[in-house]
């Protein structure tokens, strides 16, 4: 495994110069969702000012940290398909760990497989299926950071999900997220396979981050914004612009949910 301890320490040192905030809650914002960070108060720190932080290359991932007393929001993640090593894909989680974050909210844009879902809907992630062909924990383990064989049976905290559903005015549907490497969208045959193995939605991120967060002992919850129906479900081609446009259309609604969850976690 990469020397994650050294990476976390380097982030800690780098951030010492730019912020005194040490929030307990971290949020990673998915494709087209970074406007949520603009609308919340706090100090903005560009990734270029954080030593060792890569730059996002995908439209809709801008690359800055917004930090306040209660939360750290990361507007911009790194995807395996961008050519980043899997050890770099998880750097947003290592950065949050360096700040002392204990609870993580991950968000993403995803294609809906479950026919009960529709574009624009926000789904609470119940579990994931790792089909990325990579795992950030491969390599020698530093037992001071986490266990060799992390338990993933409650990767998306059941207790937190229960509290979130109780707090929101209406219940969110839950679903299983299949994480593939991308960058091409899936074929209709792949989507039929994913449906058969129990996936409700599909995307190209989140899974490595959630593995790392669980390994580091962070309680984690995740939300998918269904930006499109997955390949072959509707008779229409897929494109990233649709993903960005749908995320933008529901941004206010999604922000309300994320803010409610942030308040819930901050009040505990
Ligand atoms: O970062 P997320 O998972 O939200 O982005 C999704 C997956 C690809 O990066 C992109 C495909 O449109 O959106
Ligand atoms: O349909 C999709 N497939 C994979 N990733 C995605 N991200 C948004 N939509 C999709």
Test site for ligand 1: of 34, 81, 180, 204, most ligand atoms within 8 A of the Cβ: 204
108 alpha carbon, closest ligand = 1
Q: Which parts of 86-157 fold into alpha helices (H)?
A: 86-89, 91-99
At 84-134, the pLDDT tens digits run 999 999 999 999 999 999 999 999 999 999 999 999 999 999 999 999 999
Paired sense of beta strands 201-203 and 103-112, if any: antiparallel
Residue 253 makes CB contacts below 8 A (sequence gap 6+) with: 122
Paired sense of beta strands 64-67 and 71-75, if any: antiparallel
Annotated catalytic residue 253: no
Annotated catalytic residue 262: no
Phi, psi of 134 (to 5 degrees): -155, 155
Structural domains in the chain, sorted by start: 4-266 (3.40.50.1580)
**Closest Cα to residue 99, out of 169, 200, 15?**
15
CA of residue 141 to ligand 2 center, whole Å: 32
In three-state secondary structure terms, 59 is coil
pLDDT surpassing 80 at residue 267: no
pTM for the whole structure: 0.96
- When mean pLDDT is compared over 21-35, 48-62, 154-168, 196-210, the highest value belongs to 196-210
**Closest Cα to residue 125, out of 210, 191, 245?**
210
Report the atom number in ligand 2 closest to the C-alpha of 238.
Answer: 1
Kindly provide the residue ranges of all beta strands, DSSP E only, lying in 83-210, ordered along the sequence. Answer: 103-112, 122-131, 174-180, 201-203
pLDDT surpassing 90 at residue 171: no
Q: pLDDT band at 209, cuts 50/70/90? A: very high
Give the helix/strand (H/E) hosting 21. none
Question: Measured between alpha carbons, how far is 187 from 216 in angstroms, rounded to an integer?
Answer: 34
Question: Measured between alpha carbons, how far is 183 from 131 in angstroms, rounded to an integer?
Answer: 13
At 175-188, the pLDDT tens digits run 999 999 999 999 99
Annotated catalytic residue 81: yes
User: Left (φ > 0), alpha (ψ -120 to 50) or beta: where does 209 sit?
Assistant: alpha
pLDDT surpassing 90 at residue 15: yes
User: What value does the mean pLDDT take over residues 50-59?
Assistant: 85
Q: pLDDT band at 60, cuts 50/70/90? A: low
Q: pLDDT band at 233, cuts 50/70/90? A: very high
User: What value does the mean pLDDT take over residues 176-203?
Assistant: 98
Mean pLDDT, the chain, as a whole number? 93
Test site for ligand 1: of 74, 182, 226, 250, most ligand atoms within 8 A of the Cβ: 182
Nearest alpha carbon, ligand 1 atom 6: 109
CA of residue 15 to ligand 1 center, whole Å: 27
């Amino acid at each position: 495994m990469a020397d994650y301890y050294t990476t976390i320490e380097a982030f800690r040192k780098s951030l010492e110069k730019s912020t005194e905030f040490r929030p307990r809650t971290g949020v990673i914002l998915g494709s087209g969702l970074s406007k949520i960070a603009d609308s919340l108060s706090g100090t903005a720190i560009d990734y270029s000012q954080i030593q060792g932080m890569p730059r996002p290359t995908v439209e809709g991932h801008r690359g800055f940290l917004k930090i306040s007393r209660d939360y750290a929001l990361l507007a911009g993640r790194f995807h395996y398909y961008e050519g980043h090593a899997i050890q770099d894909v998880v750097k947003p989680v290592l950065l949050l760990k360096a700040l002392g974050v204990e609870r993580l909210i991950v968000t993403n844009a995803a294609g809906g497989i479950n026919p009960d879902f529709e574009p624009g809907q926000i789904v609470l992630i119940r579990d994931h299926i790792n089909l990325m062909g990579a795992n950030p924990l491969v390599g020698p383990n530093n037992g001071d950071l986490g266990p060799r064989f992390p338990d993933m049976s409650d990767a998306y905290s059941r207790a937190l999900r229960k509290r979130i559903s109780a707090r929101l005015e209406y219940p969110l549907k839950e679903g299983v997220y299949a994480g593939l490497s991308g960058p091409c969208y899936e074929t209709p045959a792949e989507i039929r396979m994913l449906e058969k193995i129990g996936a409700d939605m599909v995307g190209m991120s989140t899974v490595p981050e959630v593995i790392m967060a669980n390994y580091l002992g962070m309680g984690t919850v995740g939300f998918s914004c269904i930006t499109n129906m997955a390949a072959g479900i509707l008779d229409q081609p897929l494109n990233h612009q649709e993903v960005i446009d749908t995320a933008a259309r529901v941004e206010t609604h999604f922000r309300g949910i994320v803010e409610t969850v942030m308040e819930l976690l901050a009040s505990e």
